[in-house]
Amino acid sequence: MPQFVGKVKDFIGVISVANKRLQEDAKDNSEKYDIEMLTGNESEVVEMDLMLGIADLHTPAAVAAAESAIGNGHPLISFGC
């Protein structure tokens, strides 16, 4: 068990150093780490489809928003104003 704890402590140290390095690099290169900004030079893109039936569409507004999101990627948001 002590060997396992030692390995975990070592791993936490490595992760801590990597996080500090990442934070410093992100200060100077924030656009490099902006996951919402696509440059067109990406070799791989992960697209997440979150319309998996998790959200129940109980209202016409919810159905319209879901259809709009599927249609053109810009959901219709109505604030009732």
Q: What residue spans define the domains of the chain?
A: 1-47, 48-81
- Does position 29 have pLDDT exceeding 80, yes or no? yes
Mean pLDDT of 9-24: 94
Rounded Cα–Cα distance for residues 59 and 49 (Å)? 21
Q: Which residue has the higher pLDDT, 63 or 51?
A: 63
Mean pLDDT of 24-49: 81
Q: What is the pLDDT of residue 48?
A: 76
Q: Which two tokens stand for residue 21?
A: 């390095």
Q: Which two tokens stand for residue 70?
A: 């599927």
- Does position 50 have pLDDT exceeding 90, yes or no? no
- Residues in CB range of 66: below 8 A, 6 or more apart: 51, 55, 57, 75
Q: Which two tokens stand for residue 51?
A: 């319309």
Rounded Cα–Cα distance for residues 74 and 67 (Å)? 10
Mean pLDDT of 36-61: 74
